[in-house]
Structure 1
Amino acid sequence: MPSRALRAVFDVWESLFHRAFRLEDLEPGTEHLFFVAKRRYFGRGFEVDGIRVNPGDRVVELHVNNDMVERALREDGNVVRAMVQLLRQARISMPALARAVQRERFADAQVLYGVTMIHRGIERFGFHTYPLPNGIAKSLTTWHLTNVLKMLNPDANHIIETHHDVLQPKLVVASKAKIIEMFGEGNAVSHAKTTELSVDNEQAVPLES
């Protein structure tokens, strides 16, 4: 683990980040893999599940719970197995995410959006992934997420070197309607039995160049 001093600094940063960007728990008092926030999208335009997203549109921004990532990496040094563990946590969190995005404050946001290294296998939950466009934004995002990983695990450099293809930051998107359809009230129980095998056949339209 990182030194106590560095970890204390990171914990303070996490707390300030959550407050500054108004991240919300999916369910108050219950830990889940995701946090959400309402935000305007300022990246390149894209289309997902038939919904067009342009710069300035409202979106539901997703953030990964770094405490859960840390525990997964600490409990299992094998990155692939840790990713599987996080996928299980994602599946558990999906019904809560479906309920959260139906809150009144998210009524004008039709798409969920996030940038993360934790994306392997996420397609089975209704998401699509895009590689980040080359440029300064990609470099800064990669630098930031890499440093977050280093704070969470002292072997981060080795992990990144040996699993470079797995830990590339990607844009993760889904329509709100798709998430509600798959994991909303009455759908989550039946879908949970099939997510290990089912694959969403819908395709996302590539990011504009």
Structure 2
Amino acid sequence: MSTLMLYLFYFFTFYAFLPGLISRLFGYRVLKRGMSERDISLTFDDGPDPVYTPRLLDLLGRHGIKATFFVVGKHAEAHPDIILRMHQEGHSIGIHNYLHRSNWLMRPKSVAKQIRMTSELIERITGTKPRFYRPPWGIMNLFDFASRHQLQIVLWSMMAGDWRKSTGAAKIESRMLKRLSGGTIYLLHDCGNTFGADLEAPANTIEALERFIPAALDRGYRFVRVDELADAYAKAAQRKAHPVRKALVAAFLFWERCFHAAFRLQAAIPEDPKSFLFYRITSYHGETIPLSEGEALRSGDTVVELHMNNELLYEFGRNARSPVQLAIQLIRAMEKTMPKLAASLLLRKDVSSIKAVLGTSMVNRGVEQFGFTIADLPRGWFAFATRLYLKFLLSVIHPQGKDRLGQRAEMLVPKRIAISMKEMTKRYGETVTQVAAGAADRADGRLA
């Protein structure tokens, strides 16, 4: 697999596919539904619309119920009076980007700008800063997943398909009643002026709600804003450990195995299925990295690319009683693995063509004792994506979970670690000689 294909694979997987998959399947770091027996929430995307949003507000007002509107900044800027009315009538207002564009198609800075512009606009009109964010089409990237600008991401548990005029009011009502249960977050639309939607479709939504709302109220359900569901969810989660983390870990470890298979990673300790380090031989592409004894790693050099066994790292984190104990386990694992890794590499027929061993890790403190030099990642997309991905990984595998990210965050910076093959030979050559001699003795024994 070429380096370009590898980078594209990294990009699509870590920036786009994996965050969306995890959030959709497991609800990790997003709100998909509440933890309530009788509270439900109506949410409306893409507005405000000068025709349909006032009609919808009239309907909600007649029944005395509150909803949540995820507004498009450009539409809000064109109709500030409707935004102010939403706020004055007690509805919650969230962000749906300034323009209705997919976050997969924007750089992180562009996504941040869209969120910031819309947030500032809503705050200027209402005097209240938004708490919630829903990316268009619910499509998330690594930037949304890891940073969120202190906003709670809200998806949904029921989508009525009401952006198409052909769906019709009767079908929208039927779908909503079929999925009526406590904690449901309904995704609806009060504006059809976005890509893929029909301009007149919100008329069907309003007609369906005119029948759905009384039916739900008659069955004892209560309509609440998303913030009420979110606050109740947070309190319930504090009382009870949520199963999402376990499911998330299982999904991540499955992905880890797929990654190892896709890139044909080799275990540093072949006879150990839980080898701490894995590697592959590849070409280095990047800025020059100084090595020991005046050597340097340059673009085009052949390197051994290291990958930590995250499944084993998770086991360490789960069983460790403290961060200190986790650090001790990591050091011991490196002490055990490095001589074996050296033997695997220095006994290769193509060892003379390999310039260095290279890895990228947030777990880089103390690696100097094993002969590695440490270098900062060059600024750019790769460094940004790597930082977000490794922070997400640490939040999963560390015994203190995401709370660890707030403690001495300046130390949680991914670095490139490298050791030249000359240094590897100098440090571990004697061990390699012993391994080779042992293998020869065993061969002689078999021949005898």
Q: After superposition, where does 1:198-209 map in structure 2 within 5 Å?
A: none
CA distance in 1, matches of 2:245, 2:275: 26
Q: Any stretches of 5+ residues in structure 1 without a counterpart? A: 190-209
Counterpart AA for 1:114: G
Contact persistence 1:116–1:170 (CA under 8 A): yes
1:82: which partner in 2? 326
1:83 and 1:120 in contact (8 A); partners too: no
Q: Which residue among 7, 12, 28 is the counterpart of 2:254?
A: 12
In the alignment, the residues of structure 1 paired with residue 311 and residue 244 of structure 2 have an alpha-carbon distance, to the nearest angstrom, of: 14
1:177 counterpart residue number: 422
Aligned-residue offset at 1:65 = 1.2
TM-superposition CA deviations, 1:135-188 (whole Å, max 9, x none): 322110011112222332474321121142332111101111212221233489
**Of 159, 168, 177, the match for 2:404:** 159
Q: 2:305 aligns with which of 61, 64, 86?
A: 61
Corresponding position of 1:37: 280
Equivalent AA in structure 2 for residue 144 of structure 1? Y
SS at match of 2:275: strand
Matched residue, 1:197:
none
AA in 2 matched with 1:90: M
More helix by share: 2
Alignment match of 1:70 (pick from 314, 320, 332)? 314
Structure 1 pair 20/4, CA: closer, same or farther in 2 (3 Å)? same
Q: Could you tell me the percent identity over the aligned residues?
A: 30
The answer as to whether partners of 2:289 and 2:375 remain within 8 angstroms in 1 is no
Tell me the equivalent position of 2:353. Answer: 108
* Greater alpha carbon shift after TM alignment, 102-111 vs 169-178: 102-111
Q: Does 1:136 find its partner at 2:372?
A: no
Question: Which residue of 1 is the match for residue 289 of structure 2?
Answer: 46
User: Partners in 1 of 2:378 and 2:318 — Cα distance?
Assistant: 31
2:317 and 2:399 in contact (8 A); partners too: no
Residue 123 (str. 1) matches residue 368 (str. 2): yes
Give the equivalent residue in structure 2 for 1:96: 340
Structure number with greater CO (CA < 8 Å, separation at least 6) is: 1
For 2:247, the aligned partner's letter is A
Q: Is 1:27 the counterpart of 2:27 in the alignment? A: no
When the two structures are aligned, how many residues end up with a matched partner? Answer: 189
SS of residue paired to 2:386: helix
Note if contact 1:40-1:59 (Cα within 8 Å) is conserved in structure 2: yes
Q: Normalised by the size of structure 2, how large is the TM-score?
A: 0.39
Residues 58 and 108 of structure 1 are in contact (CA less than 8 Å); yes or no, is this contact kept in structure 2?
A: yes
Q: Tell me what 1:145 maps to.
A: 390
- Paired letter, 2:281: K
CA distance in 2 between partners of 1:2 and 1:84 (Å): 29
| TM-score when normalising by structure 1 | 0.80
The separation in 2 between residues aligned to 1:112 and 1:187, in whole angstroms, is: 16
Higher strand share: 1
Letter in 1 for 2:289: F
The letter of the residue matching 2:299 is P
Q: Give the conservation status (yes or no) of the 8 Å contact 2:395–2:404.
A: no
Name whichever of 138-147 and 102-111 sits farther off: 102-111
Task: Tell me the CA shift for residue 26 of structure 1.
Answer: 1.4
- Deviation, structure 1 residue 63: 0.9
Structure of higher CA gyration radius: 2
| Cα 1:88/1:52, change in 2 over 3 Å | same
Deviation at 1:84, TM superposition (A): 2.3
Separation in 2 of the partners of 1:138 and 1:149? 16
| Structure 1 residue 100: Cα displacement | 1.5
Mean alpha-carbon deviation: is it higher for 123-132 or for 75-84? Answer: 75-84
| 2:266–2:279 Cα contact (<8 Å) kept | yes
| Counterpart amino acid of residue 60 in structure 1 | V
Q: Which residue of 2 aligns with 1:199?
A: none
> Structure 2: how far apart are the matches of 1:92 and 1:2?
34
- Return the letter of the residue paired with 1:71: E
Do 2:360 and 2:415's aligned partners in 1 also have CA atoms closer than 8 Å? yes
Contact kept, 8 Å, 1:38 with 1:106, in 2: the verdict is no
Q: Deviations over 1:50-74 (max 9, x none)?
A: 3232212211111111122212222
- AA aligned opposite 2:250: A
Residue 15 of structure 1 aligns to which amino acid in structure 2? R
